[in-house]
Amino acid sequence: MDSALDLAISFDTDPARYRHWTLDFPVEHGGAVARLTLDVKPDGGLVPGYALKLNSYDLGVDIELADALTRLRFEHPEAKALLFRSAHPKVFCSGANIYMLGTSTHAFKVNFCKFTNETRLGLEELSADSGVASLAAVAGACAGGGYELSIACDEIVLQDDGSTAVSLPEVPLLGVLPGTGGLTRLVDKRKVRRDLADVFATLAEGVRGQRAVAWGLVDEAVERSAFDAAVRARLDAMVARSARLPAPPIKLASSVPRREGSTLRWRWVTLALDRAARVATLTMRAPDAPPPATSQALAAAGGDTWALAAFRDLDAALLELRTNVPEVGVVVLKTEGAPSAVLASDRALLDLARTDGLAREIVLHTRRVLRRLDVTSRSFFALVEPGSCFAGSLLELALAADRSYMLDAGASSPTLAVSAMNAGPLTMLHGITRLASRFLGQPGQADRVAAAHAPFDTQAALAAGLVTFAPDEIDWDDEVRVALEERASLSPDALTGMEASLRFGGVESMATKVFGRLSAWQNWIFQRPNAVGPRGALTMYGKPERAEFDWKRV
């Protein structure tokens, strides 16, 4: 799909522009249930060359879903449960479009799976941290990514009609793996027995009815006449137990950059591209006004609140890098502004987040964006210079970086500063802070750094282990230049594997397993002849001839 990479893919959308999803709020639940109905338009693919038949999806379908989940968080605080259903009586969702995958470049496939993974994890977070549980009402075929969407929900009700089935047919039909965490969720989340999961994942036709319940693949299988009532009862129970904090609805504005040559400018983020050097510079700016200090002021600021708007801009910049600028492999992270302004924003937001649903959602959004940075396959180098504001929530950028360089300019040196944001609210995907992940070999150091009251100057930051190198003014330019040139000269494939291996030290979670296995196994399998060679399973799908495999295990 070279045309997809030549196209500037936009992740900016809104419900009025959705082609494949309908978001509404059924009157029978009094607005407390949000309903997302999937009705994929066959001619609505992101790029030409394939038809989205049988409610199959491509990146465009998932961009709409990700947007809908974000709007539920901020524009619809009245929603306390979420229902997924299909507009088609004979198919719930047949998963990622096979012809789209078969004609996509390797990089596009991997990024597609990564974004879809992040969306599924966001759905699970919506339940765990925002109090909005989700239910998949499965009637009709539910295969591959359609079942992966279902198991990202809290509960699944299956119509027991003799034909509705759930399946993960990637191994037997396509020679690849379920790309959005299906195997991991089977055993880690739904606790399906390993031997039953083995059978299920190699059974192309899937599992139906009460066997699906017995194996733990769904929660309930109900005959057609009782199906709607069973769905309604489960949704009512979800609404009753929801602990969603009250919040005002706010409107989210578009996050579209202004393009000036090779530079993209959002309000709070600038992304400058040097394609020849394969380096980008991403600069994030501190707030320029005092933060909202009350719930009323926060509601009035709404989508313009710095902590929300700035990290929406950062999210858009990361997606731009991933999808539209594949040749850029090194990203320089910079910040500008007053550290005190960032610290004031953090303090005000965390004070409100104890009881204010909007403030809590903004903190959770910040966490999601930083987690997207953690799993972005680019080398991130943070540069801490005079005028920087790596403080609190923006210090997380430097902590997430693969390396950090801080100028040692004596009395004119820049500083780093911590806030309560660094001590817990912005955990990584494996549930620990970036400070804790940084200091796995130094027990207590993360707590000592988090408890610091004074900013760290260059020498203090170096001694505390907060930065990698601290060149002086004489060496700064040359040392940074050489570091960037050397990094850009290394194999991007090797760097992707190295960075993914090093960023998540310590404990594992279901999410890090999903991404770790996506980065390694799926990345590898998508390039193997057995999947994408001239006679590979993905290449031959839909043709009368059978795939031909190299039977050697490696």
Instruction: Summarize pLDDT for 161-183 with one digit per residue, the tens.
Output: 999 999 999 999 999 988 889 99
Q: What pLDDT is recorded for position 7?
A: 59
Q: Residues with Cβ < 8 Å from 406, sequence gap 6 or more?
A: 384, 413, 414, 416, 458, 461, 462, 467, 469, 470
Position 134: which residue type?
S
Count of CB atoms within 10 A of residue 534's CB? Answer: 8
**pLDDT over 60 at 123, yes or no:** yes
Domain extent for 356: 259-498
Give 292-333 pLDDT, tens digit per residue.
999 999 999 999 999 999 999 999 999 999 999 999 999 999
Residue holding tokens 């449960």?
A: 81
Going by pLDDT thresholds of 50, 70 and 90, the confidence category of residue 518 is confident
Last residue of a domain, one of 241, 267, 293: 241
Over range 515-524, report the average pLDDT: 76
Q: What percentage of residues in the chain have a pLDDT greater than 90?
A: 88
Is 172 in the same domain as 315?
no
Is 129 in the same domain as 167?
yes
- Measured between alpha carbons, how far is 420 from 306 in angstroms, rounded to an integer? 18
**pLDDT over 80 at 380, yes or no:** yes
Q: What pLDDT is recorded for position 515?
A: 87
Are 181 and 148 contacting, i.e. CB atoms less than 8 angstroms apart? Answer: yes
- 511-to-126, 254, 431, 451 alpha-carbon distances in Å: 15, 29, 10, 29
Radius of gyration of the chain from its Cα atoms, rounded to whole angstroms: 24
Q: Which helix (H) or strand (E) holds 506?
A: none
Higher-confidence residue of 3 and 189: namely 189
Q: What pLDDT is recorded for position 519?
A: 67
Beta bridge partners of 260: 263
Q: What pLDDT is recorded for position 452?
A: 94
Going by the DSSP 8-state scheme, the letter that residue 544 receives in this structure is: S
- Measured between alpha carbons, how far is 314 from 372 in angstroms, rounded to an integer? 10
Q: Which helix (H) or strand (E) holds 236?
A: helix 224-241
Are 515 and 166 contacting, i.e. CB atoms less than 8 angstroms apart? Answer: no
Residue holding tokens 């999601």?
A: 368
Is 375 in the same domain as 477?
yes
**pLDDT over 90 at 390, yes or no:** yes
Identify which of 337, 344, 329, 395 has the alpha carbon closest to the alpha carbon of residue 366: 395
Is 295 in the same domain as 161?
no
Chain-centroid distance of CA 233 in Å reads 31
- Measured between alpha carbons, how far is 480 from 472 in angstroms, rounded to an integer? 11
**pLDDT over 90 at 442, yes or no:** yes
Position 505: which residue type?
G
Is 120 in the same domain as 227?
yes
Assigned domain for 520 exists: no
Assigned domain for 521 exists: no
Going by pLDDT thresholds of 50, 70 and 90, the confidence category of residue 410 is very high
Phi, psi of 230 (to 5 degrees): -65, -40
Q: pTM of the predicted model, to two decimals?
A: 0.95
Last residue of a domain, one of 482, 498, 514: 498
Going by the DSSP 8-state scheme, the letter that residue 37 receives in this structure is: E
- Measured between alpha carbons, how far is 110 from 451 in angstroms, rounded to an integer? 40
Is 335 in the same domain as 473?
yes
Going by pLDDT thresholds of 50, 70 and 90, the confidence category of residue 189 is very high
Is 38 in the same domain as 121?
yes
Q: What pLDDT is recorded for position 2?
A: 40
Is 213 in the same domain as 280?
no
**pLDDT over 50 at 132, yes or no:** yes
Position 179: which residue type?
G
Give 194-243 pLDDT, tens digit per residue.
999 999 999 999 999 999 999 999 999 999 999 999 999 999 999 999 99
Over range 491-501, report the average pLDDT: 91
- Measured between alpha carbons, how far is 88 from 40 in angstroms, rounded to an integer? 10
Assigned domain for 505 exists: no
Count of CB atoms within 10 A of residue 342's CB? Answer: 29
Assigned domain for 248 exists: no
Assigned domain for 231 exists: yes
Is 187 in the same domain as 324?
no
Assigned domain for 10 exists: yes
What are the structure tokens assigned to 291, written together? 């933060």
Give 277-297 pLDDT, tens digit per residue.
999 999 999 999 999 999 999
Mean pLDDT, the chain, rounded, equals 95
**pLDDT over 70 at 58, yes or no:** yes
Beta bridge partners of 469: 405
Going by pLDDT thresholds of 50, 70 and 90, the confidence category of residue 3 is very low
- 2-to-8, 44, 98, 100, 449 alpha-carbon distances in Å: 12, 18, 16, 12, 47
- Measured between alpha carbons, how far is 87 from 253 in angstroms, rounded to an integer? 29
Is 489 in the same domain as 422?
yes
Position 368: which residue type?
R
Give 248-281 pLDDT, tens digit per residue.
999 999 989 999 999 999 999 999 999 999 999 9
Burial of 478 (C-beta count, 10 Å sphere; 0-12/13-18/19+): exposed
Assigned domain for 489 exists: yes
Is 341 in the same domain as 211?
no
Are 55 and 38 contacting, i.e. CB atoms less than 8 angstroms apart? Answer: yes
Going by pLDDT thresholds of 50, 70 and 90, the confidence category of residue 523 is confident
Is 237 in the same domain as 273?
no
Last residue of a domain, one of 448, 478, 498: 498
Going by the DSSP 8-state scheme, the letter that residue 104 receives in this structure is: S
**pLDDT over 90 at 338, yes or no:** yes
Report the domain count for the chain. Answer: 2
Q: What is the CATH number of the domain that holds 311?
A: 3.90.226.10
Are 266 and 319 contacting, i.e. CB atoms less than 8 angstroms apart? Answer: no
Assigned domain for 459 exists: yes
